[in-house]
Structure 1
């Protein structure tokens, strides 16, 4: 028995030891709450000082916003913001520009564009959509052309420029596609133009005049009718200064054309217009429309809190402290944006919608804190009441803040500059909001509770007379109502009618079995609509994006997509490390292979060599003889091909050349992607073949000492390039970036649910609700005509 008693004593001692260890173990959650409790007690002892210092701290940082105009931090260059950098098309363009520099300042041909083209465009048709080729319309059409040419802008150096000062030029004249058709309309009485008259003034430049017409008819080599005419005004971009000036002119083009249409609309013509960056500009204008709603929503929030927190008597009213909870966000915006602008971080108009999101978050923070405060109305000490409210709301507020900050912090690495800027401003503003909530708002909360203990008026902060004394003095009911009250002792003493009735409705109506069944059925119906919307959610090209349906771009786009074909010009570049004559056979095979592709327009092949081969001075005996015939005879007679050949000046020979071919109509970005994929595979096969041939040449003693041999380091002997490929580089990237942020938030919710409430059911339910909400944004938005472009 003694042995059993001793064994039992050891067990009890072991259990007691474990119990003590458990008691001594620090619970991280309790330690976290204790930190905020201590912080709150310190703040409540000096509330005026803390509130004033916190406000001044944000206000002084806000002075950094003066750096916005001083350092020109405002960036609304939509193409810079919305077009990702470093894609395959951009890299290829940068390589090709070293061989074929931009000549838009003096020798511009539209089909030779390596960079994205820069232009303004006007589309014209008659009211009755009859034949536009009519001499009676010439004056009106010519007036439109001259009006555009006279549009002026201020330049980056403070000067003044009209279209001829920033236009893309050739032979000393501005390149305006479609103007030669306008010239033919003059004195035209029979409504027809011989096709021979539509040859451009500098000869064959590949972009035929017919590409500027739509719904036209040709009979016996004569243009007999045309219903739509587009006139494209090309702009220079051969230097950074000219690029900026051209974009400034392009912006004024929109402004002046809107005025022209509203005040001087042609009598017999319909007119619409656009420019090369119109789609991106309209994306930016979308955000301009959203920003003014912030002030409206801010007012609604203040009104809402004024109604919800209107409960209690003249002492216990919480309406002002609720409004202070809203003011935390503007104070945070002032400090955060001032800090960022002071550090030189650029600002764009899209950032203007951030306060709206943070304001919604802050309302929840304020309501959580005030709800916890209402639970301790019976506690006499104001310090303890505030400490209880803050420490019990700290965990939920911190976790919701993390769920926003962490995904957006990862979003700073986005490929889109606008997303990068938005994420930087969002994260910093959210952190400032978190700081100000627990410092500035807590200090104001302490002042509010000190006022209650001192029985001061909620608005005037004057000492109130006890209700009994006013009754004894025979005062009327209005004086008694407005000038007396008592400190709250229960939760009901501070609740307003909406709060009280909503709780009653929740317990007696919404939580009943029939309502639970109704909620489940409603959620199932919601899921059906979401899934249905997701199956229909498809946007394939920037050209069919629903951007501002009443905008100038949307109007132009409606007619352009309906009447004109989207034919893409593709440049095919060949590198000749040992001269053109050494690998012309490979190049000819390459050209034949391209012509076999079904998506290429068979009659659009445009090659300098094809023209050269038909001349009498063709000479391919040696590279020297070939180059001599090209430079002395071919180029002087065919100036359009001058920049399709690159000559090595150190060792005279042609080391690069290019030719062109159009695609058939490309209806969507998906179709463009398929073309690009097929060309990429073909280029890869040709490069491997050319590399094998080059190795054979080197084995036979043919060695290149050209400085341009860097072009073939990675087996790059052939390139296929078009500025239109840019839309395919980042196809669906915006969607993937949003899904990445949503996935991070989903994972955070799951992990935090397990930490705070170790229940697998709750850990699954909360992320599932979030998933259904995000899915609903995409699914339901389809039925409202709201889309997310899947390309930049």
Structure 2
């Protein structure tokens, strides 16, 4: 008795099948109109690309939208004025600022060398001489746009060209570390500017590298824009600079974004190679095995690839017109969509191949849409919903990628169901009229006067319409049906189950090795100037992070209780193992130590004394840390600073940020929060795993809702769910072995894998359900013969879609290639090996048994109608090879 699930399946299949059949017949009656209208719409939408807005800001693209760090940065900007043009202090910045950095590597291996320091002075002078032009065309020197402190350009690390420093080095060779007490500028903290430092008794003995940081003004849009122009000139100067005493590596605040964008745009140009590969494969795969100029359909392969290409143009144009910003990772979408489009193309070709060749073109196209049309609808919807889930991500890179990809999937589906389907109609009309597949000229059938013709003329100038599916198949079509059913044997099943048990065990272990985070240097190619700079910075220099504790509401600082609470929180923070105990920038403690100015008799006197305290040149650095109201009667905001130890592990950086926030949020008696510009990047390390799991959960739920609608059988849903889970576990586990980490970039790859995993599994399950056989083994063999070919072509086309990215320069493209190869390989292994074994052992039971046949002749048309019933009702109907039908089939 048919279950409620099967009844529901029958109703849905019947209703949808009717709609798709009517649509297919409509296209068959108006093929040229459908093609012209669809191409015109695609072209008009493509014009939207003139509004393409490329966003290359790494901070904005690859960090969470609306994060706590972003909100805190806004608070700091609103609370404290930008004094970069008069009293710049690096650790007080609300963001990473504008800058240029140079890592100087002495040939002698030690920066504490007189010859090197003299060469460094020459280089320092050269830096100051770099010029640019402003928006008005006026020549601008570095001294005009650099950040200012103590009346001079702020270049962190220029301590090593300072005369006081050099004199002390030459006379006593006793350089205090990590502070240098400058007579004018006060204590200078320089630990972050020396790489490979060797310290003994708080004195610097040796350092193998020096980091110079040129800070630029940001206190107006004029300075910000001029700084960007100066940075470009800086790069061109650094690329040609040479010295016999040292080597350099360099970058500026926009380098990562610019180099990333340049690499991605360069890699996008290789899409032409992918397009050529796909056309070649599509034409070869559709080339029939029979030497016949009428039955050949390689033109369909060309049409299918072009339809997918037009979908990319339309999607990019529509998204651009709607104001969706183009982020670098969107550049991989053409490589993805061309594979999906060709996969749909082979599904439709498979559909027309398996129809009744004695029927009219209109009926055959209707039948194609009834079977293959529904199939590509399932795969397109699963892909679309997976991307829809990703569009809710807090990462701009993930969100915009998924929007572009989702829209591209829609247009790819529309184009295959219009342009390509209409191309099939035109091709069928051509074969019906016995026309040449290239010239479209009428040709003779090979059996007419063949004895009078040469062999070459028979092959090249004669032909006829194919009479059955075997005559329409290509050599590649035959391969899966021949090899795949051989795996349904007892020894093969045992081996497959053992291998997949090992796979699952290794995958679970591999997940424990997975790391989170995104190494910035990996975003660009190894030939980029930024890569070498970032590699040296990460490996040779301490990565300490200045952290500000901001008191963002008025407090009565003259009150001893308030002073004690401020000191308590600093003591608590500095007791952490991740915080340097020796570094503290505390205006309050320094002011209290100044006996000549400190006065706490009242708040007004406290503020008056503090203003006198600031008159000392060594104390001007605190001017940016205290905001006094206009009436000089209240301090409305202040901040103190500490420095973290060198933390290079991304997960440890995320935990450090959370700990600093926890320490500040615990103080309910103080209006305080912890902030560092580095927290803007640390945010991704905290949320990436939860974001990935959340997005995957939503994607899986949405995808399986669609799967349930089209295949409402609990066993099938269980198997598909298990398969997708195993594939996803394998992808997570592959990341450490591929030298990848879980980041907003690999998160995109994992979201894509959901759609691919469901596609592969659904095809096999559907093939099993609509196939016949006396037992599960035979039914699965038949299902593999039916579904193996589209899956095989889909896998090959997807691999060809990304294979050229193996030579990509950018991390985004190369990581996409690596993950996609894993997704396709693991997905194919599960779909063609594990699932068939599971279904052959414990698949849904046979709905009716085969009985002894009572022969009755059935015409090809009748046979085709019975196949329709089997597809529509999901009921097992054996097809006897003799062309007979059984009494049981009549009753059914």
State the TM bucket, normalised to the shorter chain. 0.7 to 0.9
- Choose which of 14, 20, 23 in structure 2 pairs with 1:39: 23
What's 1:95 paired with? 75
Give the superposition deviation at 1:532. Answer: 2.8
- Which blocks of at least 5 consecutive residues in structure 2 are unaligned? 748-892
More deviation in 415-424 or 278-287?
278-287
Distance 1:142 1:634 in 2: 32
Distance 1:215 1:47 in 2: 71
For residues 277-356 of structure 1, the aligned pairs below 5 Å read: 284=261, 287-288=264-265, 290-311=267-288, 312=290, 313-356=292-335
Distance 1:172 1:25 in 2: 80
Secondary structure of 1:378's aligned partner: coil
Q: Aligned pair 1:181/2:160, yes or no?
A: yes
More deviation in 53-62 or 549-558?
549-558
Number of aligned pairs? 734
Secondary structure of 2:219's aligned partner: coil
Distance of aligned partners of 1:470 and 1:120 in 2 relative to their CA distance in 1, 3 Å threshold = farther
CA RMSD of aligned residues (A): 3.4
Q: Aligned pair 1:661/2:647, yes or no?
A: no
- Choose which of 373, 381, 389 in structure 2 pairs with 1:402: 381
Give the superposition deviation at 1:660. Answer: 1.9
What's 1:363 paired with? 342
Distance 1:545 1:732 in 2: 20
What's 1:555 paired with? 532
More deviation in 535-544 or 315-324?
535-544
Distance of aligned partners of 1:729 and 1:138 in 2 relative to their CA distance in 1, 3 Å threshold = closer
Distance 2:98 2:139 in 1: 19
Distance 1:399 1:25 in 2: 14
What's 1:619 paired with? 599
Q: 1:194, 1:221 within 8 Å by CA — same for their partners in 2?
A: no
Q: Aligned pair 1:117/2:71, yes or no?
A: no
- Choose which of 365, 390, 415 in structure 2 pairs with 1:411: 390
- Choose which of 491, 495, 508 in structure 1 pairs with 2:473: 495
Give the superposition deviation at 1:343. Answer: 3.2
Q: 2:61, 2:395 within 8 Å by CA — same for their partners in 1?
A: yes
Distance 1:659 1:288 in 2: 44
Give the superposition deviation at 1:447. Answer: 0.6
Q: 2:348, 2:421 within 8 Å by CA — same for their partners in 1?
A: no
Secondary structure of 2:302's aligned partner: helix
For residues 66-77 of structure 1, the aligned pairs below 5 Å read: 66-68=50-52, 73-77=53-57
More deviation in 778-787 or 575-584?
575-584
Q: 1:539, 1:790 within 8 Å by CA — same for their partners in 2?
A: no
Distance of aligned partners of 1:759 and 1:577 in 2 relative to their CA distance in 1, 3 Å threshold = closer
Q: 1:61, 1:335 within 8 Å by CA — same for their partners in 2?
A: yes
Q: Aligned pair 1:763/2:717, yes or no?
A: yes
Give the superposition deviation at 1:451. Answer: 0.5
What's 1:525 paired with? 502
- Choose which of 654, 666, 673 in structure 2 pairs with 1:719: 673
Q: Tell me the TM-score normalized by structure 1.
A: 0.84
Q: 1:283, 1:547 within 8 Å by CA — same for their partners in 2?
A: yes
Q: 1:82-117 CA distances to partner (integer Å, 9 max, x unpaired)?
A: 222322222222222222122222221112222233
Give the superposition deviation at 1:484. Answer: 0.3
Give the superposition deviation at 1:727. Answer: 3.1
Q: 1:369-418 CA distances to partner (integer Å, 9 max, x unpaired)?
A: 11111112522411111221122112221111111112322322221222
- Choose which of 716, 728, 740 in structure 2 pairs with 1:774: 728
Distance 1:677 1:82 in 2: 19
- Choose which of 435, 438, 442 in structure 1 pairs with 2:421: 442
Q: 2:20, 2:373 within 8 Å by CA — same for their partners in 1?
A: yes
Secondary structure of 1:611's aligned partner: helix
Give the superposition deviation at 1:652. Answer: 2.0
Q: 1:297-346 CA distances to partner (integer Å, 9 max, x unpaired)?
A: 32222222222211142111111112211111111122222223233332
Distance 1:191 1:348 in 2: 55
Q: 1:191, 1:224 within 8 Å by CA — same for their partners in 2?
A: no
Secondary structure of 1:719's aligned partner: strand
Q: Aligned pair 1:233/2:210, yes or no?
A: no
- Choose which of 148, 162, 173 in structure 2 pairs with 1:169: 148
Secondary structure of 2:502's aligned partner: helix
For residues 346-745 of structure 1, the aligned pairs below 5 Å read: 346-376=325-355, 378-472=357-451, 474-507=452-485, 509-539=486-516, 542=519, 548-549=525-526, 551-574=528-551, 577=554, 579-582=556-559, 583-615=562-594, 616-637=596-617, 638-650=619-631, 652-686=633-667, 688-690=668-670, 717-745=671-699
Q: 2:9, 2:710 within 8 Å by CA — same for their partners in 1?
A: no
Secondary structure of 2:357's aligned partner: coil
Distance 2:77 2:508 in 1: 47
Q: 1:531-581 CA distances to partner (integer Å, 9 max, x unpaired)?
A: 232121114564686864554444334433333222222222335635321
Give the superposition deviation at 1:148. Answer: 4.3
Q: 1:472-502 CA distances to partner (integer Å, 9 max, x unpaired)?
A: 4x22211110100010111111112222243
Q: 2:134, 2:226 within 8 Å by CA — same for their partners in 1?
A: yes
Q: 1:735, 1:788 within 8 Å by CA — same for their partners in 2?
A: yes
Give the superposition deviation at 1:123. Answer: 1.3
Q: 1:65-86 CA distances to partner (integer Å, 9 max, x unpaired)?
A: 2233xxxx22222222222232
Give the superposition deviation at 1:366. Answer: 0.9
Distance of aligned partners of 1:640 and 1:186 in 2 relative to their CA distance in 1, 3 Å threshold = closer
- Which blocks of at least 5 consecutive residues in structure 1 are unaligned? 1-14, 691-716
More deviation in 653-662 or 441-450?
653-662
What's 1:705 paired with? none
Q: Aligned pair 1:84/2:64, yes or no?
A: yes
What's 2:883 paired with? none
Distance 1:558 1:26 in 2: 61
Q: 1:215, 1:563 within 8 Å by CA — same for their partners in 2?
A: yes
Distance 2:51 2:449 in 1: 57
- Choose which of 46, 60, 71 in structure 1 pairs with 2:44: 60
More deviation in 762-771 or 282-291?
282-291
Distance of aligned partners of 1:594 and 1:378 in 2 relative to their CA distance in 1, 3 Å threshold = closer
For residues 102-251 of structure 1, the aligned pairs below 5 Å read: 102-129=82-109, 131-138=110-117, 140-151=119-130, 163-184=142-163, 193=173, 195=175, 199=181, 202-204=184-186, 207-216=188-197, 224-250=205-231
Distance 1:603 1:732 in 2: 28
Q: 1:153-195 CA distances to partner (integer Å, 9 max, x unpaired)?
A: 6656776655444422224422101123034587999597554
Distance 1:24 1:213 in 2: 71
Secondary structure of 2:64's aligned partner: coil
Secondary structure of 1:689's aligned partner: coil
Give the superposition deviation at 1:730. Answer: 3.2
Distance of aligned partners of 1:389 and 1:591 in 2 relative to their CA distance in 1, 3 Å threshold = closer
Distance 2:91 2:219 in 1: 16
Q: Tell me the TM-score normalized by structure 2.
A: 0.75
Distance 2:682 2:202 in 1: 38
Q: 1:422-442 CA distances to partner (integer Å, 9 max, x unpaired)?
A: 122112221111211111111
Give the superposition deviation at 1:41. Answer: 1.6
Q: 1:601-632 CA distances to partner (integer Å, 9 max, x unpaired)?
A: 22212222333223323222122222222224
Distance of aligned partners of 1:189 and 1:646 in 2 relative to their CA distance in 1, 3 Å threshold = closer
